[in-house]
C-alpha cells in the first residue's frame, strides 16, 4: 500500500488487445518451477519439396540428428500402403541444412508429390515415421486399421 492507503498500480508500457496492462505491486507471487515432464512425442505437418526435403527440420533436431548424421530411410507396409520409417544409422544422411530428404524411389512408392503435406512423428528410441495425408485420413476415418507408428 502507498501513502494514500491504496495498492500502488504501475502501468506497463505494453498494450494487450487494446487494454493497458497494469501491475499491482506488493502482491505475493508463487515461484513457478520449470516443467520437468519429458516430451515423448514430437509431431509436425510439413510440405515436401521437389528434391524430397521436408520443410520442417524440427523432428530431426528433436531426435538429436545433426546435419550429416547417418540415417536409414525405408518404406514399411501398412495395410496395402506404405509409411516411411527413418532411423539413426544407415546409408542416407541429414542434409547440411538439417533437413530430412526422402529419396525419389520412396516418394514414388508412397505416391508423394511435390508440395504434399506429410505428418512426421518423432519419438526417442523409435525414430521418425512419415504419414501421407491420404493414409492418415484413412486411419482416422476407420477405413484402415492402425499399424506400426
In a domain, 85, yes or no: yes
pLDDT at 78 over 70: yes
In a domain, 149, yes or no: no
pLDDT at 12 over 60: no
In a domain, 91, yes or no: yes
Q: Is the pTM of this model over 0.85?
A: no
Question: Domain count of the chain?
Answer: 1
In a domain, 3, yes or no: no
- How confident is the model over 95-130, as pLDDT tens digits? 999 999 999 999 999 999 999 999 999 999 889 999
Alpha-carbon distance 114 to 120, whole Å?
16
- How confident is the model over 32-62, as pLDDT tens digits? 777 676 778 999 999 999 999 999 999 999 9
Residue 145 confidence class, pLDDT cut points 50, 70, 90: low
In a domain, 30, yes or no: no
> Residue 106 is part of which domain span?
42-141
Q: Are 147 and 82 in contact (CB under 8 A)?
A: no
Is 143 strand, coil or helix? coil
Alpha-carbon distance 90 to 19, whole Å?
56
In a domain, 118, yes or no: yes
In a domain, 22, yes or no: no
In a domain, 9, yes or no: no
For 39, the grid coordinates are 516430451
For 52, the grid coordinates are 524430397
Amino acid at each position: 500500500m502507498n501513502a494514500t492507503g491504496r495498492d500502488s498500480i504501475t502501468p506497463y508500457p505494453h498494450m494487450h488487445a487494446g487494454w493497458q496492462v497494469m501491475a499491482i505491486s506488493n502482491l505475493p507471487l508463487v515461484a513457478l518451477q520449470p516443467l520437468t515432464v519429458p516430451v515423448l512425442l514430437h509431431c509436425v505437418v510439413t510440405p515436401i519439396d521437389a528434391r524430397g526435403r521436408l520443410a520442417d527440420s524440427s523432428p530431426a533436431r528433436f531426435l538429436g540428428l545433426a546435419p550429416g548424421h547417418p540415417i536409414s530411410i525405408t518404406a514399411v507396409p501398412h495395410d496395402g500402403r506404405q509409411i516411411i520409417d527413418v532411423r539413426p544409422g544407415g546409408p542416407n544422411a541429414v542434409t547440411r541444412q538439417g533437413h530430412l530428404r526422402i529419396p525419389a524411389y520412396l516418394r514414388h512408392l508412397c505416391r508423394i508429390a511435390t508440395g504434399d503435406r506429410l505428418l512426421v512423428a518423432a519419438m526417442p528410441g523409435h525414430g521418425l515415421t512419415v504419414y501421407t495425408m491420404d493414409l492418415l485420413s484413412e486411419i482416422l476415418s476407420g477405413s484402415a486399421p492402425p499399424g506400426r507408428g
